[in-house]
Chain A
Amino acid sequence: MSEHGTESAGDQVRQPGTAGRLDQGLDQRLDQAQVEGSGGIPERFTNPGLPPHVPRSADLDEKAARRAERQVATLFGISMVATVVFLVAYFAIDQRTYSFIPGIGLASLSNIVLGVSLGVSLLCIGLGAVHWAKTLMPDTEVTEDRHPQRSSDEARRDAVETMAAGGAASQLGRRPLIKYTLGGALGLFAIPLLVQLTGSLGPLPKDGLSTTFWRKGMRLMRDPEMTPIKVSDVTLGSVFHVMPEGIDKSPHVLEEKGKAAVILISLPPEAIKVPKESSWGHDGIVAYSKICTHVGCPVGLYEHRTHHLLCPCHQSTFDVTQDCAVIFGPAHRPLPQLQITVDAEGYLVAAAPFLQPVGPSFWERG
């Protein structure tokens, strides 16, 4: 009437006295399991004790010891010399001096000399001290005994009793009013600290992540020159890095640039496979958000023969002939397209702002 199912063949039942070693705790020494007094072969090998000490040459020979002393002193001496070199070089070498160092090329002389002299001065102290310890300080191994980490039962009992006695003396157990209000006070006091730390964090995103600087009619400007782009300037296979007109006058330039960066690409109109892409562009010239939809790096690597746009951070690849759909890599959403058109003077302008949020995804993006 076993309620636990049958035991499988591999189950071993623990018999008392044999495999119980593992749970015995402190009594079992790990190195000796001899069967005492049986006169037979010991159950395990015994520890042979420390191997015989082999003296070093400096232990036996005073000349060797003196040589070691000289070696240590030389190292310390080199350190002192190096320190002096550092001090002199610090004031003497001009910051702007570049010298040719074999193996490195033209490097800042000040950096090299200060660094090498400081490094040598530190290193030689270390080498000297270690060499001294190895050759002259005693190298006979010393044994220190360990004691179990566990405190004695007496100590434990004493601690518990002190706590208990103190607790009883505080009358906390007898004074429930104190107990509950103490709990309440302690539970609450940390809240003001947290609120102070986090309460002023902000601002709320609102539509910050969903809108960009782009507005209808804004000219496309070259980044970083901030000059407008004429359609006739754009030749087949070219790439322009674009910012909206007026962004450099914005009070939050970098924040706006971080959302408004656009890449303008010119490809053969017949290569574009998606009608919407053609209509939002102008004669094969298309503009897409440059902010990668993965985690936001600028997607700038345009391969003009394959029409692929590559992001250098995590290698998300977008196909410009297919409305920048993702064809490789960890991004999911295609790059949003900026509708462009040409104004009366022949400059490229935005026909509308971005119609979806640019950049990495976020929960309420939709």
Chain B
Amino acid sequence: MSPTATPKGAAGLRAKDVKPQEPAKGSKAVAGGLAGWVDDRTSVAKPTSYLLKKVFPDHWSFMLGEIAMFSLIILLVTGTFLTFWFVPSAGRVIYNGSYVPLRGIPMSEAFKSTVDISFDVRGGLIVRQIHHWSALLFTVSITVHMFRVFFTGAFRKPREINWVIGTILSLLAINEGFTGYSLPDDLLSGTGIRAAEGFMQSVPVVGSYLAYFIFGGAFPGEAIIPRLFTVHVLLLPAVIIGLFTAHIVLVAVHKHTQYPGPGKTNDNVVGYPMMPVYMAKAGGFLFIVFGITTLMAALVTINPIWLYGPYDPSPVTAGSQPDWYMGFADGALRLFPGFTEFNIFGFTLSLNVFIPSLIVMPLLYSIAGAYPFIESWVTGDKREHHLLDRPRNAPTRTGLGVMAISFYLILFLAAGNDLIAIKLGLSINDITQSLRVLLIVVPPLSYWVTKRICMSLQRRDHDLVLHGRESGRVVRTAEGRFFEVHEPLPEHERWALVQHETLTPLPLTAKVDASGVQRKRNRGEYLRAKVSSFYFADGVHPVTPADLVAAHHDGSAHEAIETGQDSQDQDSGGQHWVGQLHGGAEERPERDAYASHEDGADRGPGSAP
């Protein structure tokens, strides 16, 4: 309170205002200079220190999404340069620039401006190539990032929303790429747009209207290039940037997941802080990604539109394929049989075009986007998951993922069938027929093989924990028996192999509830129990301390669990093999020398199977 009386008049209006705090004399200035200026106006100090203290776990597979993020930045930067020189117009011009094989040839302004960028603008070619290579890397890294998130189960609660956003981003990215490489209006991409018009025509009832509306008339028309330009430069980037921002904000809110390991729990994040380690590593990785992309663009040609020539509806090139990320849709078109076009009451229904071109892509992406919800319905698991699964510990999920990838991969290979034919000296007809068969046969087969491999790996881990690693040293005990010394796993290494939880199939709820009233089960419950059983019925459960005790038949159970021995200790103490001797007749149950260590069977000799 001011000791003086409140002044009169205007000054009195200000008497009770809060005066700006002067820093105490003699104390260190608290964030002077620019930082202080900004903080005075935004109170940004607290969020800044919160962000800088954020911990990120360290694993290379967490950088795959970052490759995508940095590629997006590169695309935006190089793309902006390109928009200064590119002319998004289909107007006809005659070329008269420095590239001799095109002199005097009529072409669109879009194509001409792209050739000018490549040959007559300083540094134009390198920027164009960085842009296109970066686009390929963007889609590649999104795909591998998606695989990593799927196979480690990082889409589980609370990250389902982020998975859906990511699926949408993936779909937008491939369409952004398609619109982008179609802009130069060259022979190859123009053929692609021609095919796109064919897809639109095949839509039942409204197909011809859709094609005419989008192209502003007959194909090719003058509208499609400027419209693709707007979509590519304005609409899709705006949506992508918005969704991507939401995507990383959610990562910050949820905190990043981590692989299981000693010291890592579901309730912590172990890693390095943003300041200084991650700022340096992530910032450095941005430059590394940019640098590698630039070096690729410097040394390897991509999309040589000057060789393709301008688009004309009459010529076409052998080996007409879209960029890789559209390959699966092109392959689907090549494999889909032609007899599925029908004439119904005077109308033509072209399922042979409509399904592979306009149904397959949205369908696959919808299934992908819905997967977290399917899995949580199947498991009934409503907990938050911040520890990742090792793929082998979720064999059905891993198998399903591999099945989906194999289906996608066969469609993808089909798009290159003519190049496979000439490079391997095969017949395209045989390749196409074989791929049609493989498309049906390989996915279930790959599911089964993957699941068995996962389970074998789980059993291998199981054995590793129970019996340790063979050291190759054979010991003869005083009684004259021979054993091979196994080195048990150190505690820190063992933890990663035993920490996981294998889910069991969800049982049907009781027919009679707690009060003795009969419950009606609906079909959904039966379906859920069946699918849950499909997922989890043959699980390999992690080793428990009790299992380890049973495996150590020489009675040294407690030491085996608690000390987490270091083999060096043993040598000094003489013949003191604690839980390390294996081999010999005692270890196997008498009835079957080759019984595998399945759950229930691994209780050691003398216990009930």
Contact = CB atoms under 8 A, between A and B. Distances in A.
Q: Judge A-B direct contact (beta carbons within 8 Å).
A: yes
Interface of A: 2-4, 7, 10-14, 19, 22-26, 28-31, 41-45, 47-51, 90, 95-96, 104, 108, 110-112, 114-116, 118-130, 132-134, 137-139, 141-146, 148-149, 198, 201-205, 208-209, 223-224, 241, 243, 252, 254-255, 257-259, 261, 290-291, 294-298, 300-301, 312-316, 326, 328-333, 359-366
A351 to B, nearest CB: 22
Nearest to B190: A254
A366 B347 contact: yes
Contacts of B545: 41-45
B418 A312 contact: yes
Contacts of B543: 45
Interface in B374-401: 379-387
B393 to A, nearest CB: 13
B360 to A, nearest CB: 13
A146 B277 CA distance: 20
A51 B104 CA distance: 72
* Chain B, interface residues (CB within 8 Å), range: 35 or more
B473 interface: no
B350 A13 contact: no
Contacts of A45: 494-495, 498-499, 543-545, 561
B163 interface: no
Contacts of B507: 11-14, 19
B382 A25 contact: yes
Nearest to B221: A255
Given A30-B383, A142-B270, A204-B212, A90 B316 contact: no
A206 to B, nearest CB: 9
A90 B299 contact: no
B242 interface: no
A363 B205 contact: yes
Which secondary structure dominates where chain A touches chain B?
A: loop
A129 B491 CA distance: 35
A297 B298 contact: no
Given A148-B384, A330-B337, 19 more contacts: A13-B510, A22-B381, A22-B382, A31-B499, A47-B499, A119-B293, A119-B295, A125-B287, A130-B281, A141-B263, A149-B253, A202-B216, A295-B333, A297-B194, A298-B314, A312-B318, A330-B352, A332-B339, A363-B204
A364 to B, nearest CB: 6
Q: Which 5 A-B pairs have the closest CB atoms?
A: A115-B298, A123-B291, A295-B198, A126-B287, A129-B284
**A7, A11, A28, A48, most chain B CB atoms within 10 A:** A48
A146 B267 CA distance: 5
B269 interface: yes
Contacts of A48: 262-263, 491-492, 495, 564
A12 B160 CA distance: 30
Interface in B288-326: 288-295, 297-299, 312-320
Nearest to A112: B298
A316 B338 contact: yes
B237 interface: no
**B208, B277, B293, B314, most chain A CB atoms within 10 A:** B314
23 contacts: A13-B508, A22-B379, A23-B380, A43-B544, A45-B545, A48-B492, A48-B564, A126-B291, A129-B281, A130-B281, A142-B55, A142-B272, A143-B55, A143-B269, A202-B216, A208-B212, A208-B217, A257-B312, A295-B202, A314-B330, A328-B429, A361-B201, A362-B202
A13 to B, nearest CB: 5
A261 B126 contact: no
Interface stretch (B116-124, B169-177, B567-575): B116-124
Contacts of B203: 363
Given A129-B280, A294-B198, A315 B266 contact: no
Contacts of B198: 294-296, 359-360
B245 interface: no
Nearest to B223: A201
Interface in B267-287: 267-273, 276-277, 280-281, 283-287
Contact of A28 (B334, B383, B557): B383
Nearest to A116: B298
A296 B491 contact: no
A112 B299 contact: yes
B353 A360 contact: yes
B511 A2 contact: yes
Contacts of A224: 312, 314
B183 interface: no
B432 interface: yes
B299 A115 contact: yes
A2 B289 CA distance: 65
A148 B399 CA distance: 31
B520 A144 contact: no
B551 to A, nearest CB: 13
A365 B511 CA distance: 58
B213 interface: yes
B348 interface: yes
Contacts of A120: 291, 295
A298 B315 contact: yes
Contact of B202 (A96, A259, A360): A360
A126 B495 contact: no
Contacts of A255: 217-221
B364 interface: no
A304 to B, nearest CB: 17
Contact of A115 (B294, B544, B564): B294
Contacts of A31: 265-266, 387, 499
B280 A132 contact: yes
A49 B264 CA distance: 7
Given A19-B507, A295-B194, A312-B319, A261 B313 contact: yes
B209 interface: yes
